[in-house]
Amino acid sequence: MNTNLPKVMQPLGGATLISHVINTAQKTSTNITAVIGYEKKILKKLIHEAYPSIQTVEQEKQLGTAHAVKQAMHLIKPNEKVLVLYGDVPLITNKTIKSLISSSKECCLLCMHLDDPTGYGRVMTNNKGHAIKIIEHKDASDEQRKIHEVFTGTLVVEGQLLIDALEEIDNKNAANEYYLTDLVEILSAKGVKINCIQANPREVMGANNKKELHELESILRQMNADKLLDQGISLIDASRVDLRGDVKAGKDCSIDVNVILEGQIRLGKNVTIKSNVVLQDVSIGDNSVIEAFSHLCSATVGSGCSIGPYARLREGSEIGDNARIGNFVETKKTKLGKGAKANHLAYLGDAEVGSNTNVGAGTITCNYDGTSKHKTSIGEDSFIGTNSSLVAPVNIGKGAYVGAGSVITKDVPDEALAVGRGKQVIKEDWAKNKK
C-alpha cells in the first residue's frame, strides 16, 4: 500500500475500510469485537473514538486467521452465533449477512464461484453439498486447484462449536499459520452439517495494493449508485456520482455528473442537482435547484430555491423558501428569509436577512473584529446596494435602503436610507497637469 497506516485504515468512499465493515456489522449486532494487530495503537484509537461501544482485543503476533479469532475466545458465548468478518473486505452487505445467519443452525460458509480461483481456499463438499474441508491454495494439489468454488473467509458458527474447534486447529501447513478454514474439516468430522451460500464476488473483494483499492472504489461507487437508482433518483451517469453517506429523496429528483454526496442528505420532491456539486449533511426542499459547482455543507435549503452556480453554503446556513443564492455567494451561520436574494459576489456571515430583501453584489457582513464574531440583522423588504460593507454588530430595519458603496457602522431605522461614502472630489485637468 506504500503507507504508514494499517491496511484497514485506507480510505474508501470517504471512510476507512474497517469503518465500512463495522457500520455493516452494527446492523446485525451490538456485540462486536475487533481483533487488532499491525499498528494497533493508531487502529485502536480510531475504533475507540469512532465506535466507543466496540471491544478490541490485541493479536501480538500475526499467526493466522484462527489465531486472530482465538484472541477473542474469552468473549465468545457458547449459546450464541458468532459471525466472523474481515476488516479489509469492506463491501459485504447487510442482506448477505442476514442470508448467511439464517442459512444454518450450526455453521454456514460464505462462498463464491470464480473463473480464476487462484489464491483462494477451495471448498470440498460431500454428495449432499455440505462443506467437508477447505484446502488453501498453497496446500492444494493440482486436481484440487481445479475446483472453482472458493471460501471467502466469512462464516457464521455456533459459539461452542467455534470454541472447541479453535483448540484443535494447528499450524501444520505450508505457511505455518493457524487457519480458521481448518475448522470446517474439524466440525465436519464431528458430524456437523456445514452449509454454503454463494456471495456476489464484488461484495467480498479485498485490497492488498492501491490498484485493488481503486477497483474497490469503482465497485462501491456502482453499488451506491444502484441505491440511488432504486429510490427513483435519475442519474445522468451513474459512474460519475459518489455517494459517501445516506440519501433519502422524494419523487422526480435528478443528479448530474461529478456530484459528491456525503453524510446525511435529504432531498424533497423534484430537486435538481447539477454537475460538480458537493453536498454534505444537507436538506433541500421541493422544487429547488442546486446549480453547477456549488458546495453546501451543514445547510438547509427551503422549497423553490435556486442556489449557485459557484455558491458556497457553510455550516448553519438556512435558506428560506423561494430564496436565491447566486454565483460566488458564501453564507455561514446565516438565515435568508422567504424570497430573499443575494445574486452575486457576496459574503453573509452570522447574519439574518428578512424575507424579500435584496443583497447587492459585493456586499459583505463584517462579522469578525479580530477577536469575536458579531451578528448583522437585516429586516424584510430591504435593499442593500452594491459593494456595501455592513460592520457588525449592526441592524438594518424593515424596508430600509443602503446606498451602493456604503460602509454601515450604525443601526439603520425602518424605511430609512443610509449612505456611508467618502466625499467624491474632482480635480479638473489633473491628468493633463501631471503629464
Residues 175 and 281 in one domain: no
Question: Which pLDDT band, with edges at 50, 70 and 90, does 270 fall under?
Answer: very high
Mean residue pLDDT across the chain: 95
Residues 185 and 282 in one domain: no
Rounded Cα distance, 32 and 94, in Å = 15
344 part of the active site: yes
Question: Which pLDDT band, with edges at 50, 70 and 90, does 104 fall under?
Answer: confident
Q: Which of 48, 130, 137, 344 is labelled catalytic? A: 344
Residue from 15, 58, 12 nearest 34 by CA: 58
Sign of the dihedral defined by the CA atoms of residues 215, 216, 219, 225, in that order: negative
Residues 190 and 282 in one domain: no
For 250-361, list the strands marked E by DSSP. Answer: 254-255, 259-267, 272-273, 278-284, 289-290, 295-301, 306-307, 312-313, 317-319, 324-327, 330-336, 341-344, 347-353, 358-359
Question: Which pLDDT band, with edges at 50, 70 and 90, does 419 fall under?
Answer: very high
User: Interior CA angle at 295 toward 289 and 299, to 5°?
Assistant: 75
Residues 408 and 304 in one domain: yes
**Structural domain contains residue 125:** yes
**Structural domain contains residue 228:** no
Residues 32 and 125 in one domain: yes
Residues 189 and 248 in one domain: no
Q: Any idea which of 135-139, 237-241, 267-271, 342-346 has the lowest mean pLDDT?
A: 135-139
Rounded Cα distance, 69 and 3, in Å = 26
**Structural domain contains residue 263:** yes
Set of cell numbers at residue 232: 427513483
Rounded Cα distance, 343 and 329, in Å = 7
**Structural domain contains residue 289:** yes
Rounded Cα distance, 72 and 361, in Å = 63
Per residue in 274-320, pLDDT tens?
999 999 999 999 999 999 999 999 999 999 999 999 999 999 999 99
**Structural domain contains residue 433:** no
Per residue in 119-167, pLDDT tens?
888 999 999 989 999 998 888 898 999 999 999 999 999 999 999 999 9
pLDDT at position 51: 96
Of 182, 199, 216, the last residue of a domain is 199
Rounded Cα distance, 120 and 137, in Å = 6
Residues 240 and 176 in one domain: no
**Structural domain contains residue 204:** no
pLDDT at position 278: 98
pLDDT at position 1: 86
Of 154, 180, 199, the last residue of a domain is 199
CATH of the domain at 99: 3.90.550.10
Instruction: Check whether 435 has a pLDDT greater than 80.
Output: no
Instruction: Check whether 105 has a pLDDT greater than 90.
Output: no
Find out whether 21 and 87 touch, Cβ atoms under 8 Å: yes
Per residue in 12-55, pLDDT tens?
999 999 999 999 999 999 999 999 988 889 999 999 999 999 99
Percentage of the chain beyond pLDDT 90 is: 88
- Domains contained in the chain, number: 2
Residues 237 and 98 in one domain: no
Find out whether 270 and 284 touch, Cβ atoms under 8 Å: no
C-alpha dihedral (240, 246, 249, 253), degrees to nearest 10: -10
**pTM attached to this predicted model:** 0.88
Set of cell numbers at residue 429: 485637468
Instruction: Check whether 422 has a pLDDT greater than 90.
Output: no
Cβ atoms within 10 Å of 94's Cβ, excluding its own? 13
Per residue in 351-360, pLDDT tens?
999 999 999 9
Residue for grid cell 480510505: 11
**Structural domain contains residue 122:** yes
Residues 274 and 186 in one domain: no
Residues 180 and 69 in one domain: yes
Rounded Cα distance, 101 and 368, in Å = 57
> Which residue range forms the structural domain that includes residue 41?
7-199
Residues 108 and 172 in one domain: yes
Rounded Cα distance, 159 and 423, in Å = 85
CATH of the domain at 269: 2.160.10.10
